[in-house]
């Protein structure tokens, strides 16, 4: 697995909605008009990043760490009922879901201060859910998620990307 350059579009993406995504976001291509979405984008909910894409070009699902395991019915919905054939999964550098388990004390404190939870409730909640969302490495995670999606949806083109926070570009993750 390696990161392809952000300044070129890999051959397999040219002429596809995935290539269009790269052209819009990385190269500033002028927007086309879309009556219907062409791609599903799964990305992190982090507010520090926004994609440069035209209106109605994409369905966008945001979840911590771009972990769509709890939203797969929504993915299946757009494939089955909206005809989506391309999925872009986008992780990013500096993801705060990486090593989430190491921030247990901060999480508990934050829930106590901000949500008025008891320490016991916050601890129980963290212990139950944090392991489902903890990521060791964002690039490996999104690459493995794309492989899982390809197995689940063999007729769909699934493409993993890393969004680098330092330059705001999408980097295809290639095998």
Strand bridging mode 169-174 / 2-3: antiparallel
Q: How confident is the model at residue 147 (pLDDT cuts 50, 70, 90)?
A: very high
pLDDT of residue 175: 85
Mean pLDDT across 17-46: 97
Distance (Å, whole) CA 123 – CA 34: 46
For residue 5, pLDDT over 90 is answered with no
Give the up-direction half-sphere exposure of residue 78: CA atoms within 13 A in the CB hemisphere.
20
For residue 107, pLDDT over 90 is answered with yes
All structural domains of the chain: 2-98+135-174 (3.40.1050.10)
Q: How confident is the model at residue 6 (pLDDT cuts 50, 70, 90)?
A: confident
Measured between alpha carbons, how far is residue 66 from residues 27, 93, 112, 118, 161 in Å?
23, 12, 26, 29, 11
Mean pLDDT across 22-50: 96
């Amino acid at each position: 697995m390696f990161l392809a350059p952000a300044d070129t579009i890999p051959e397999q993406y040219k002429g596809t909605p995935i290539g269009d995504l790269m052209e819009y976001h990385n190269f500033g291509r002028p927007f086309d008009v879309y009556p219907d979405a062409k791609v599903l984008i799964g990305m992190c909910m982090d507010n520090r990043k926004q994609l440069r894409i035209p209106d109605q070009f994409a369905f966008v699902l945001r979840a911590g760490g771009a972990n769509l395991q709890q939203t797969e019915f929504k993915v299946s919905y757009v494939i089955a009922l909206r005809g989506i054939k391309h999925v872009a999964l986008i992780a990013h550098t500096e993801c705060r879901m990486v090593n989430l388990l190491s921030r247990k004390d901060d999480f508990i404190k934050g829930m106590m201060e901000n949500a008025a939870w008891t320490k016991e409730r916050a601890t129980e909640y963290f212990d139950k859910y944090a392991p489902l969302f903890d990521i060791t490495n964002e690039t490996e995670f999104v690459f493995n998620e794309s492989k899982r999606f390809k197995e689940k949806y063999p007729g769909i083109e699934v493409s993993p990307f890393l969004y680098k926070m330092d330059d705001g570009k999408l980097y295809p993750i290639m095998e």
